[in-house]
């Protein structure tokens, strides 16, 4: 054996107190000064493995070697001391403090008793410049964009002299342009001798940035590949354990009459600031209309208006022939609107209620589930069991609380309930956020089937590849305004959409109006 690996993990096993075997004999060899990707579905054990490496969890057995030397990583502080840094998916930043204060927090430069802020500003500025991570050290963290916040996280690790940097799903929160900038920064880190561990489940990104890939499934390593030899299909098969088709056949299908027309709708966000600004479009029976927008550009508020959760400040919404502007959630549901909300646990489900209760929540105000005001529990259980079987929710019983299910299975419960009402208009907000490829495939197929049955579907997603794969038409919102509309997304790329999403470009009004 020649030069030792920067990091070796040998036969790591970890069983959680609940009995879940999160890691089983996992071994990992990471070469120095490269990008090593670890891919796998949710629950494959990637996070546990990284928590062990960062000292948050202790393995039951196995060894960790840095540059060939065995080490014990008993805590994050120890990991930092050994030169391991981690950037979590949820940033660990204090919003009201400056960039420099956030970076030096816990390892502050001092002059006697006094915190040496000028020194902090200086060294953070130098660090940012040296590693090509441009950010203003004096800016308040809460006011800078997410992409820059991520740079602050990386700077925090570098400030503590991290040689190995773990990035946990770093692209999940970024726009395509920000992803490109991040990749440039990662290449810069590697060029300066740092080793990057890249945890991900978006395969195109993994293939673009990594040198080597480890695939995990069910707590085990199921493949080690060199990126040059890997393909997305092969990786997907390894991750899921079977062939998965995330290719949606663009079958020709009949687009019907207009189901819902939105005319000049404006709405405020929860802080009473304008969030949706004079938006007009229609959606027809048998089509999926995709809304592309960077998070926080009015798409959430727009869907809330359409589902009746938020009152518009201007404009008109018609459903079929009826003016439904300002209708309540319940009336809209009765009129045929169904909704897969963005936040499953807060709005899609009652987390502590049972699967059965969640499944029937929308129709327990009428027979056959209710009999002279009394719930008919056996009918409810029957109805719920039918849906659980039809939608393949993996559970032992419909009587267990819904929050004991995995994310993918929870989403199946939401989708089963919403689609069982045979909606005319389905609002799907981020329907595959945080669920694994197997469940994503199922969600996609469910949406396609609903569309083919004649439902009109409005889909928002932070994942542009999802929009491009599913949507029959795409509109783009930027700062609450409709800035572009594409009647045929077949030839669009994420980058095309990105320039409009960031507000850098705008279609002429006539073109937008025709396509929307």
Partner 1 sequence: MTELLTTIISATFFFAVIRTTVPLLLAALGGLLAELSGALNVALEGMMLSAALTAVIVSASYPWWIGLLAGVLAGMALGAVMALFHLRFGADVVLVGFAINLMAAGGTVFILAQATGGDRGTSLALPSKSIPRLSLSWLGAIPGVGGTLEAALSGHSYLTWATVILVAGIWFMLYQTATGLRLRAVGEYAPAAAAAGISPDQMRALGLILSGALAALGGVQLAMFNYIGFTRDMTAGRGFIALGAVLLGARRPGGVAIAALLFGAFEALAIVLPALYTSIPGELIHSIPFVVTLVALVIYARRAQLLTRRRVAGVEGAT
> Which residues of the chain form contacts with partner 1 (CB under 8 A)?
76-77, 80, 88, 90-97, 101-102, 105-108, 110, 113-115, 142-143, 145, 156, 271-273, 296, 479
Smallest gap from residue 145 Cβ to partner 1 (A): 6
Beta-carbon contacts of 229 under 8 Å, excluding residues fewer than 6 positions away, are: none
Smallest gap from residue 134 Cβ to partner 1 (A): 16
Burial degree of 72 (CB within 10 A; 0-12, 13-18, 19+) = exposed
Q: Which is nearer to partner 1, 157 or 387 (CB)?
A: 157
Q: How many CB atoms lie within 10 A of CB 120?
A: 24
Concatenated DSSP letters of 109-171: -EETTEE-HHHHHHHHHHHHHHTT----TTSBGGGS-HHHHHHHHHHHHHHTT-SEEEEESTT
Smallest gap from residue 271 Cβ to partner 1 (A): 5
Concatenated DSSP letters of 17-41: TTS-EEEEEEEEEE-TTSEEEEE--
Q: Which is nearer to partner 1, 382 or 479 (CB)?
A: 479
Cα distance between residue 44 and residue 216, in whole Å: 6
Smallest gap from residue 81 Cβ to partner 1 (A): 9
Smallest gap from residue 193 Cβ to partner 1 (A): 24
Q: Which is nearer to partner 1, 142 or 392 (CB)?
A: 142
Question: What sign has the CA pseudo-torsion 49, 50, 52, 56?
Answer: negative
176-180 long-range contacts (CB < 8 A, ≥24 apart) are 176/464, 176/494, 176/495, 176/497, 176/498, 177/498, 177/502, 178/145, 178/146, 178/147, 178/150, 179/205
313 touches 493 (CB < 8 A)? no
Q: Which is nearer to partner 1, 218 or 274 (CB)?
A: 274
Smallest gap from residue 66 Cβ to partner 1 (A): 19
Smallest gap from residue 508 Cβ to partner 1 (A): 24
Cα distance between residue 450 and residue 419, in whole Å: 7
Smallest gap from residue 77 Cβ to partner 1 (A): 4
Q: Which is nearer to partner 1, 277 or 432 (CB)?
A: 277
> Closest Cα to residue 470, out of 242, 287, 312?
287
Residue whose tokens read 């493949």: 223
Give the residues across from 115 on adjacent strands: 110
Concatenated DSSP letters of 350-410: -TTSBHHHHHHGGGTTSTTSEETTEE-HHHHHHHHHHHHHHTT---S-TTSBGGGS-HHHH
Q: Which is nearer to partner 1, 82 or 319 (CB)?
A: 82
Cα distance between residue 305 and residue 199, in whole Å: 36
Q: Which is nearer to partner 1, 336 or 480 (CB)?
A: 480
Cα distance between residue 325 and residue 339, in whole Å: 17
Q: What are phi and psi of 6, to 5 degrees?
A: -60, -40
Structural tokens at position 349:
């489900």
Smallest gap from residue 504 Cβ to partner 1 (A): 13
Q: Which is nearer to partner 1, 152 or 356 (CB)?
A: 152
Cα distance between residue 433 and residue 10, in whole Å: 33
Q: Which is nearer to partner 1, 143 or 247 (CB)?
A: 143
Q: Which is nearer to partner 1, 88 or 248 (CB)?
A: 88
Smallest gap from residue 122 Cβ to partner 1 (A): 17
Smallest gap from residue 103 Cβ to partner 1 (A): 9
Q: Which is nearer to partner 1, 80 or 413 (CB)?
A: 80
Q: Which is nearer to partner 1, 39 or 141 (CB)?
A: 141
Smallest gap from residue 157 Cβ to partner 1 (A): 10
Cα angle 294, 300, 304; round to 5: 165
Cα distance between residue 414 and residue 371, in whole Å: 25
3-state helix, strand, coil in the chain (%, to 5): 35, 25, 40
Smallest gap from residue 102 Cβ to partner 1 (A): 7
Give the residues across from 340 on adjacent strands: 428
Q: Which is nearer to partner 1, 144 or 248 (CB)?
A: 144
């Amino acid at each position: 054996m020649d030069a030792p690996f920067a990091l070796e993990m040998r036969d790591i096993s970890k069983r959680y107190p609940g009995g879940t075997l999160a890691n089983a004999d996992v071994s990992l060899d990471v070469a120095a000064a490269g990008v090593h990707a670890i891919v796998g579905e949710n629950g494959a054990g990637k996070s546990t493995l990284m928590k062990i490496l960062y000292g948050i969890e202790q393995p039951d057995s196995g060894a960790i070697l840095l540059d060939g030397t065995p080490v014990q990583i008993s805590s994050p502080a120890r990991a930092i001391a050994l030169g391991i840094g981690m950037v979590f998916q949820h940033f660990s930043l204090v919003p009201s403090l400056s960039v420099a204060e956030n970076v030096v927090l816990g390892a502050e430069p001092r002059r006697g008793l006094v915190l040496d802020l000028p020194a902090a500003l200086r060294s953070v500025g130098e660090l940012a410049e040296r590693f090509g991570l441009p950010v203003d050290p004096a800016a308040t963290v809460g006011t800078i964009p997410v992409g820059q916040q991520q740079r602050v996280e990386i700077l925090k690790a570098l400030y503590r002299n991290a040689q190995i940097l773990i990035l946990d799903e770093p692209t999940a929160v970024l726009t395509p342009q920000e992803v490109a900038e991040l990749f440039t920064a990662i290449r810069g880190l590697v060029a300066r001798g740092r080793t990057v561990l890249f945890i991900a489940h978006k395969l195109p990104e993994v293939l673009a940035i990594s040198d080597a890939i480890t695939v995990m499934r069910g707590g085990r390593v199921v493949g080690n590949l060199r990126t040059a030899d890997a393909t997305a299909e092969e990786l997907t098969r390894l991750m899921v354990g079977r062939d998965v088709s995330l290719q949606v056949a663009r079958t020709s299908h009949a687009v019907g009459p207009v189901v819902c027309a939105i005319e000049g709708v404006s709405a405020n966000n929860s802080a009473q600031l304008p969030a949706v600004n004079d938006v007009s479009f229609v959606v027809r029976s048998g089509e999926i209309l995709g809304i592309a927008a960077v998070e926080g550009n009015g798409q959430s508020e727009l869907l809330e208006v359409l589902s009746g959760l938020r009152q518009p400040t201007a404009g008109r919404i018609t459903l079929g022939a009826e003016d439904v502007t300002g209708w309540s959630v319940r009336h809209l549901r009765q009129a045929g609107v169904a909704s897969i909300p963005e936040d499953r646990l807060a709005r899609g489900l009652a987390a502590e209620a049972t699967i059965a209760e969640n499944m029937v929540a929308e129709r327990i105000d009428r027979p056959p589930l209710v009999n002279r005001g009394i719930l008919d529990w056996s009918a409810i259980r029957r109805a719920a069991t039918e849906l659980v079987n039809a939608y393949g929710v993996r559970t032992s019983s419909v009587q267990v609380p819904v929050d004991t299910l995995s994310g993918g299975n929870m989403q199946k419960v939401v989708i089963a309930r919403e689609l069982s009402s045979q909606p005319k208009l389905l609002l799907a907000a981020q329907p595959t956020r945080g669920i694994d490829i197997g469940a994503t495939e199922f969600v996609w197929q469910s949406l396609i089937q609903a569309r083919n049955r004649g439902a009109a579907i409005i889909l928002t997603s932070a994942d542009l590849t999802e929009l491009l794969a599913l949507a029959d038409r795409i509109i783009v919102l930027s700062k609450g305004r409709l800035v572009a509309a594409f009647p045929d997304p077949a030839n669009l790329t994420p980058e095309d959409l990105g320039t409009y999403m960031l507000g850098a470009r705008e279609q002429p009004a006539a073109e937008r109006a025709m396509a929307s």
